[in-house]
A and B are shown apart, each in its own frame.
Chain A
């Protein structure tokens, strides 16, 4: 199988019950075309690792922006995120219907815990969350005092799949991100068994200068072309 596949082929890689990391922040940097196809696939019982659950309407309109589609279609069984307040369906499914389990992690720790797995580290020591109920989280392994300051030991986070999105991806698979859409895509590309990258535009090798490559082709298993999909 070539690295360049259709969105349909890429969606078929994801089985029921898989854990997926999805890059993006409130929909910015979500792989919109892939997520839309996944939301229509009927795949269920997913663990979604994403900063947020996006929001019901995108900034340019449209229903269920980015990963909000997966929540709306009740394809998510477990959500690991930092903020879910802009998508009221999360509260509905987790607190009222009780069909969705949510684990909340501080955003800086979340980024670093994903980075840790991708960088081969056994955990993260961070002062964030000390003295809060994060100490009771299953993702917190304890507290350590180093030179007079308390730190929480947080577990690395990994996934079966990372779904990332770049504005340009070259024919080798190198990714260039526009604006602040790189956000969690960069760390997620290092922390999953299989990385699927959606390009708005696929370009020739050399069109992205080597120093502008933010996610190396060696991390990217599959590339799909999403276009300017919203």
Chain B
């Protein structure tokens, strides 16, 4: 059995295979930020931060300037060589306009229709959607990268019960158990983690899974 850190690393490693050389990519907070660590040498992506960085760089003690450069989580950030700074309206124009190839984010719930909920729990928590609603409708490839269940409770549902962040937008779901393609007929399992049986994966999932004839192990 993997511990939580191993699980998150395993998911991030698999997500990295979804990215292509030259892609413009937006990463959500948490697990998605691990993905660049697993990119092969020949895959260079441009990370975009929706508050105004195209080409996110590495913060060091020397270049740190928190007053003027932060990432979408408000943490000190930096622009990479060849990158640029833009204002918010321009940034979201690029996002809605289809100029971001992939967005990778977590979710509270995701469903068989490719709809996602991750911004509010009515009456309990209302952090807000920030840029997520725009990223979900604008990015060409929407990858939900998350742990398969929340303390054993399914997060992949027939239909989201929490308010949607966006509908019919997710293209792929990657968890420690499997890789699901979101297709018009439903959630198609294309890869599975051999640590689990197909029955175990289905039991941890509320939505009905369609098993691809080309099903293969995750690696």
Instruction: Give me the interface of A with B, judged by CB distance under 8 Å.
Output: 25-29, 51-52, 54-55, 58-60, 81-86, 91, 94-95, 102, 104, 106-109, 111-112, 114-115, 126-134, 167, 178-187, 214, 228, 230
- Given A111-B89, A126-B96, A183-B51, decide whether A104 and B128 contact each other with a Cβ distance below 8 A: yes
- In the bound complex, what is the Cα–Cα distance between A180 and B91 (angstroms)? 11
Let me know if B75 is at the binding interface, CB within 8 A. yes
Give 22 A-B contacts (CB < 8 Å), ordered by A residue.
A25-B51, A25-B74, A26-B73, A26-B74, A28-B67, A59-B74, A82-B129, A82-B131, A104-B126, A106-B132, A106-B133, A107-B131, A111-B89, A111-B92, A115-B89, A127-B96, A129-B166, A131-B164, A132-B167, A133-B163, A181-B67, A187-B87
CA distance A185 to B85 in the complex (A): 13
Assuming the A-B contacts A59-B70, A186-B89, are A106 and B52 also in contact, with contact meaning beta carbons closer than 8 angstroms in the complex?
no
Q: Which residues of B contact A (CB under 8 A)?
A: 49-53, 65-70, 73-77, 79, 85-89, 91-93, 95-96, 115, 120, 123, 125-134, 137-138, 163-168
> Which one of B74, B127, B137 has the greatest number of beta carbons of chain A within 10 Å?
B74
* Contact residues in B for A134 (Cβ distance below 8 Å): 133
- With A25-B70, A130-B167, A132-B133 known as contacts, the answer to whether A81 contacts B53 (CB < 8 A) is no
Q: Which residues of B contact A114 (CB under 8 A)?
A: 89
Whether B68 and A108, one on each chain, are in contact in the complex, defined by CB atoms closer than 8 angstroms, is: no
Which residues in B have their C-beta under 8 angstroms from that of A84?
126-128
* CB <8 Å contact, A86 and B126: no
CB pair A107 B129 closer than 8 Å = yes
Complex Cα gap A22–B74 (Å): 16
In the bound complex, residues from chain A placing their C-beta under 8 Å from that of B123 are 95
Task: Name the one of B52, B129, B138, B167 contacting A25, with C-beta atoms under 8 angstroms.
Answer: B52
Supply 18 further A-B pairs (C-beta < 8 A) apart from A27-B74, A95-B126, A184-B87: A52-B130, A58-B66, A82-B128, A83-B127, A83-B129, A107-B50, A107-B129, A107-B131, A107-B134, A108-B93, A111-B88, A111-B92, A115-B89, A130-B167, A132-B166, A179-B67, A182-B86, A183-B52
How far apart sit A108 and B86, CA to CA, in the bound complex (Å)? 13
Does A107 contact B92, Cβ atoms closer than 8 Å? yes
C-alpha spacing A104/B138, complex, angstroms: 19
In the bound complex, what is the Cα–Cα distance between A145 and B88 (angstroms)? 26
Residue of B nearest to A113 (CB): B89
Q: 6 tightest A-B contacts by CB?
A: A85-B127, A26-B74, A108-B92, A179-B68, A108-B134, A180-B52
Complex CA–CA separation, A209 to B180 (angstroms): 52
Contact between chains at B126 and A112 (CB < 8 Å): no
Q: Which of B91, B120, B129 contacts A106 (CB 8 A)?
A: B129
Judging by beta carbons under 8 Å apart, are B92 and A182 in contact? Answer: no
Could you tell me the distance in whole angstroms from the C-beta of B99 to the nearest C-beta in chain A?
13
A112 and B89: CB pair below 8 A? yes
Provided the pairs A106-B129, A180-B51, A180-B69 are in contact, do residues A59 and B75 lie with their beta carbons within 8 angstroms? Answer: yes
- How distant is A143 from chain B, measured CB to nearest CB, in Å? 13
Q: How far is the CA of A115 from the CA of B79 in the complex (A)?
A: 25
Select one of B85, B125, B131, B164 contacting A180, CB under 8 A.
B85
Q: Which residues of B contact A26 (CB under 8 A)?
A: 51, 70, 73-74
Give Cα A95–Cα B75 distance, bound, in whole angstroms. 27
Q: How far is the CB of A192 from chain B (nearest CB, A)?
A: 15
Q: Across the interface, name the chain B residue whose C-beta is closest to A26.
A: B74
How distant is B208 from chain A, measured CB to nearest CB, in Å? 22
